[in-house]
Structure 1
Amino acid sequence: MEIIVDHTLSLRAVTVEDTERVFAITDASRSTLREWLPWLDMTTEVQHTRAYIESNIAGYKERKCLSAVILFHGKIVGIAGFNNINHANETVYIGYWLSKGAQGHGIMTKVVHALCQYAFEELQFNKVEIRAAVGNTKSRAIPERLGFVKEGTIRSAEWLYDHFVDHVVYGMLANEWTKTS
């Protein structure tokens, strides 16, 4: 799977060959990413990233998930994709993270837009859902910019190292997407 977003930005299904680079940007962005991602303390060696990638490749083959590297000017700067693909309900759940140096340039908004297009136009799914911690204003800004509907809040949705955080749930339906895109 490859999605060309624009002349500087694309998505490509993650491969085992991406392991070292994904680990390197994870490690370099650890302090920033750790604020909202619960898996950073369990990703301390290249082998941990490799296991994650291999798991996602297997999940992709089983049509359960899709993990893609974000390429900006040809370099990996993050991961985005469908954390879960629910075929029965025609719903995908988008997750994403971006390296510290790549944040603040509008990259993730473009990436999420492209993933929505892929979900609605290629996969012909009915719904895209994004969940983000209530306090994660940067992550929440993306679905809000793209016109997602705030559907509600899930209390104590995720354990984040030493406390629970609530999640805001955003949804976009296929018929709404055609009106906004």
Structure 2
Amino acid sequence: MTVIKIDDEIELRIIQMDERFKLFETVDKNRIHLRKWLPWVDHSTSPDSYVTVIQAWQENIDRGTGLELGVFYKGELAGMTGYNVIAVGQGRAQVGYWISKDAEGKGIVRRAVKGLIDYGFKDLDLNRIEIICGDKNYRSRAIPESFGFVRESTMAEYEFLYDHYHDCIMYRMLRKDWVSQTK
């Protein structure tokens, strides 16, 4: 089982089937907070709605096409991060993340994503990591910008959020740039 120990407070690991209850509870408690930027929140209607999701995450891990991980802060599920997409044989992947409202402002996402990026370049042998954020989601955009990701493009009406399309920004980091800035 993949476990990425970030520091004394944060660990990233695969969500197990019996943790679907906690995952649902976390999403349900943060529904309004998360719904603003995440198009899947309304599909989370019960713990059992995560059965097929967790199975799909495991299949993606087995195929090497994704790596969705729970963010555990002081042993409690606080959110998710991971590689939503890994382009097998292409050396590139896209990072996604979300955090519960009560876990915001503690640097959890920044530390988790940094650990995930290090893991991607070192252990998954990635060459390019992308992060796509809503153009008006300034808190989310602060993550790639804080790491020096390059703003590569603005994608018009890229994602549908319940009743409207919104623009997204694609950021990228190349391994050579990450290595040179973290020396």
Pick the TM interval, shorter chain: over 0.9
2:52 maps to: 51
- Give per-residue Cα distances to partners, 1:20-77, cap 9 Å, x unaligned: 1111000000000000000111111111122211111111111111111101001111
1:28 maps to: 29
1:126 maps to: 127
2:149 maps to: 148
What is the identity, as a one-letter code, of the residue corresponding to 2:114?
H
**Structure 1 stretches of at least 4 aligned residues deviating more than 6 Å after TM superposition:** none
SS at match of 2:69: strand
CA distance in 2, matches of 1:3, 1:69: 10
- Give per-residue Cα distances to partners, 1:118-168, cap 9 Å, x unaligned: 110111110000000101111100000111110011111100000001110
Q: Answer yes or no: is the 8 Å Cα contact 1:15–1:57 preserved in 2.
A: no
The normalised TM-score by structure 2 is: 0.97
CA distance in 2, matches of 1:69, 1:4: 12
CA distance in 2, matches of 1:132, 1:78: 17
What is the identity, as a one-letter code, of the residue corresponding to 2:171?
Y
> Which consecutive residues of structure 1, in runs of 5 or more, have no partner in the other structure?
none
Give the RMSD, CA atoms, in angstroms. 0.8
CA distance in 1, matches of 2:107, 2:143: 9
> Which consecutive residues of structure 2, in runs of 5 or more, have no partner in the other structure?
none
